Amino acid sequence: MLKAHRQHLSGERGMIENSLSDLLEPEAGLIAEPMQMPRDVYDALVRSTVASVEALCGPGVSVFQGQPLSIERIVNRTMAWVVSRKLAEYAATVADLMHRFETMTGIACVGLFEESGQPLPLNIRLMLQQFVRGGGLTRFPPGVRYFFGCPVPSNSRIR
């Protein structure tokens, strides 16, 4: 991703910055919005952050928001948002988390959002509670990527 960012592919740079930030930063920060940061400074920032995350999580561990990728964290963050008074404001964040949940578990997230994209909090809570009560968290150990319930080998690295 960093190589594509360096090549300054028009229209894709912001998407790459946001994707790198999602992987490496607990909250969107300088990696997501580097403003007018020179490329070499940005590259150094990303590499330094990767090194910090690898030191924390270990090499080859799949990460999300600077920590080992965890379905439990995704469930907990989603549950926190769906009971929040700011749910409407953060509907896109909830949608992103539920897309990650669906992709990792293979559980269809149909009927969880209105046509307008607004989350249906009771439906989301019910589905996530059923997942947790059914032992879903134990089937997905942290640090491993999953695609529709199947583990995906982690052999990609930021270069």
Helix (H) or strand (E) holding 78: helix 71-82
pTM, to two decimals: 0.76
Q: Which residue has the higher pLDDT, 51 or 132?
A: 132
pLDDT of residue 157: 47
Pair 77, 134 in one domain: yes
Structure tokens at 113: 């959002």
Residue 15's pLDDT band, with cuts at 50, 70 and 90, is confident
Is residue 158 predicted with pLDDT exceeding 50? no
Q: Which residue has the higher pLDDT, 12 or 68?
A: 68
Pair 56, 96 in one domain: no
Residue 58 lies in a domain: yes
Pick left, alpha or beta for residue 18 (phi over 0 → left; psi -120 to 50 → alpha; otherwise beta).
alpha
**Which distant-in-sequence residues (6+ apart) come within 8 Å of 149 by Cβ?**
104, 105, 106, 139
pLDDT in tens, 108-142: 989 999 888 889 999 999 999 999 999 999 999 88
d(CA 14, CA 37): 13
Pair 107, 142 in one domain: yes
Is residue 49 predicted with pLDDT exceeding 90? no
| Number of domains comprising the chain | 2
Pair 53, 79 in one domain: no
Residue 86 domain boundaries: 69-150
Q: Look at residues 40, 64, 88 and tell me which one is the last residue of a structural domain.
A: 64
pLDDT in tens, 70-93: 899 999 999 998 888 888 888 888
Pair 74, 144 in one domain: yes
How is residue 43 annotated by DSSP? H
Residue 41 lies in a domain: yes
Q: Look at residues 49, 64, 79 and tell me which one is the last residue of a structural domain.
A: 64
d(CA 59, CA 100): 22
Question: Which residue spans within the chain are E strands per DSSP?
Answer: 63-64, 67-68, 145-147, 150-152
